[in-house]
Amino acid sequence: MRPTEQLQADGNARLEDLDLTEAAESNETRWDRYRRHYDEFVRAPFLILWNDWRSRVGMLILLLYLLMGTVGVLLIEVPYTNQAERWILPFQNMQYPLGTTDTGQDLLGLIVHSTPAMLIMIGAGSVFSTVIATIVGTAAGYKGGTLDRTLMIAADTMIAIPGLALIIVIAAVIEPRNPAVVGIILSSHVWAGLARSLRSQVLTLRDDSYVEASRIMGISTPAILAKEIIPNLMPYILINFVNSARNVIFSSVGLYFLGVLPYTNLNWGVTLNSAYNSAALYRLDLVYYIIAPLVAIVLISFGLILLSQGFDRIFNPQIRAKHAESASEAAVDEGDDSSSRNVTVGQ
């Protein structure tokens, strides 16, 4: 029965007593539900990020690297020894716009073909450390007791172990060849510090009234963590996700440069090592050999920092509500336009 029909059937009922929200949701079609989820979780966050110039520039920089890692590797030939003349300077031969190395390899090709493995490494390492830290930190902080003590002993033990020494030992034992495995090894010790921080944040949230109300209503612990606790920690988690990604970049470049990690794929750290061994560090005319991989490293790190500036705006309720409303209005306008076009076509 519709709300207005219920009001007519019950003469003593008041309009404010009717559960209009429930009635509206019951009348919502599957398409409307998909559209509401798309508006809430995809379109509104994208508009929030796009309206901030820092996150917009960050997204464009990361898009550039994604294109390099997907389309660029198809357009640019894989570099090999004696591919061209040695030491062609940048922009001297447009077939090799960034010049060539001491072995005649295309420097642009080295940068571009290093990108896919680096992106896989960044994604695997940052996701691994962030997910493990979020699970450990929220579970320990919310449940407390024996679980809290056990998880924090494990986290403190991991914090006490020197990260660089741990990575070197694991790399020597496993000898990883897959970029995803390398990324996880590089982040194997990072999760502990973030888990400690998240536990402290959860301790301040678990006794709030809305969390207490959820417990009284009998909602399960995983549901409370997922719907009440973690959303309030998302700005902090996302900022640390970006920091984990930057940590993977710098660690991988440094360890490949030192020759600690065995490599089968091209890497910016290997390119830097080759430039260093070719005396490019001491000759001004060869400095482009060092600058090119350094620019690639700094630019992707800069893009991640700029993108992280806009993440906290996504979880600002006021800004999110404003953009969700504008997105809904735009969707309604598009629907009206399409309806008008259909009417016109029908006429």
pLDDT score of 345 more than 50 = no
Residue 262's pLDDT band (cuts 50, 70, 90)? confident
How far apart CA 204 and CA 187 sit, in angstroms, is: 27
How far apart CA 125 and CA 119 sit, in angstroms, is: 10
Signed CA dihedral, 147, 153, 156, 157: sign only: negative
Dump pLDDT digits (tens) for 120-170. 999 999 999 999 999 999 999 999 899 999 999 999 999 999 988 898 888
The pTM (predicted TM-score) of the whole model is 0.78
How far apart CA 294 and CA 278 sit, in angstroms, is: 16
Whether residue 208 contacts residue 141, with contact meaning beta carbons closer than 8 Å, is answered with: no
How far apart CA 305 and CA 128 sit, in angstroms, is: 19
Dump pLDDT digits (tens) for 89-133. 999 988 999 999 988 999 999 999 999 999 999 999 999 999 999
How far apart CA 259 and CA 273 sit, in angstroms, is: 8
Number of residues assigned to the chain: 347
Torsion angle, alpha carbons of 168, 173, 177, 181, to 10 = -70
Q: Which residue has the tokens 């993108």?
A: 307
Read off φ and ψ for residue 101, nearest 5 degrees.
Answer: -95, -175
